[in-house]
Amino acid sequence: MSNHEESNPLGLSAVFGDQAEPLPLFNLWYEEAGRSEPNDPSAFALATADASGKPNVRMLLLKGASEGGFAFYTNMNSRKAEELRENPHASMCFHWKHLRRQIRISGSVKPVSDAEADAYFASRDHDSRVGAWASLQSSSMACRAELQQRLAELQAKHPEGSAVPRPPHWSGWWLNPGQIEFWLHGDHRLHERLLYKKIGDGWERSILYP
């Protein structure tokens, strides 16, 4: 059966499956993206807004997907972290060019636990851990040499092979989804869209015009 043959009561292509909940479909599309995209299949755009509602967007990497939400890690002094503290709502958008698919997720955010942040930080390579200490993400610097100087000092303090603790300003967030929309390219811009909305403990499914 081709991907685009109908396979469910909503009349969508088979790639949408017929799941009552969105996470299995997210996992399936994510695995397929891992096989089809040349790099960064975990990359997504994260939209935040400040307290006055002004929006801001940037790319991040997904580091966890479960019933509890979608996880990402960053510098907690960065602009995005400031915005998430002011307004704990966000939206993420994945786009996989080869698959011609998009997934959009929105909801509220909460910080990951210290244990979760420690575990992910420990999985990063040594230089990335040192880099997390060196970067004052989103602050301005006088010139690039300032960063190189900080990096050299921190590399001397934490030589290759030594333990690098997680910086207090480095952690992550879980986005707890209220809505997840799956989008598939269609000919003549007649795309297919499947929306899951969280209602109480369950999910309501609907399809949207392109």
Ligand X SMILES: Cc1cc2nc3c(=O)[nH]c(=O)nc-3n(C[C@H](O)[C@H](O)[C@H](O)COP(=O)(O)O)c2cc1C
Specify the residue, 80 or 193, whose C-beta has the smaller distance to ligand X: 80
Specify the residue, 73 or 196, whose C-beta has the smaller distance to ligand X: 73
Specify the residue, 18 or 40, whose C-beta has the smaller distance to ligand X: 40
| Both structure tokens of 27 | 């996992």
Shortest distance, CB of residue 201 to ligand X, whole angstroms? 30
Shortest distance, CB of residue 40 to ligand X, whole angstroms? 5
* Marked catalytic residue, from 35, 189, 193, 205: 189
Binding residues for ligand X (CB under 6 A):
40, 43, 56, 58-61, 72-75, 78-80, 137-138
- Indicate if 189 belongs to the active site: yes
Specify the residue, 72 or 133, whose C-beta has the smaller distance to ligand X: 72
Shortest distance, CB of residue 150 to ligand X, whole angstroms? 17
Contacts of 194 (CB under 8 A, 6+ apart): 10, 12, 16, 181, 182, 205, 206, 207, 208
| Both structure tokens of 25 | 């479909």
Specify the residue, 83 or 181, whose C-beta has the smaller distance to ligand X: 83
Shortest distance, CB of residue 46 to ligand X, whole angstroms? 8
Catalytic residues: 189
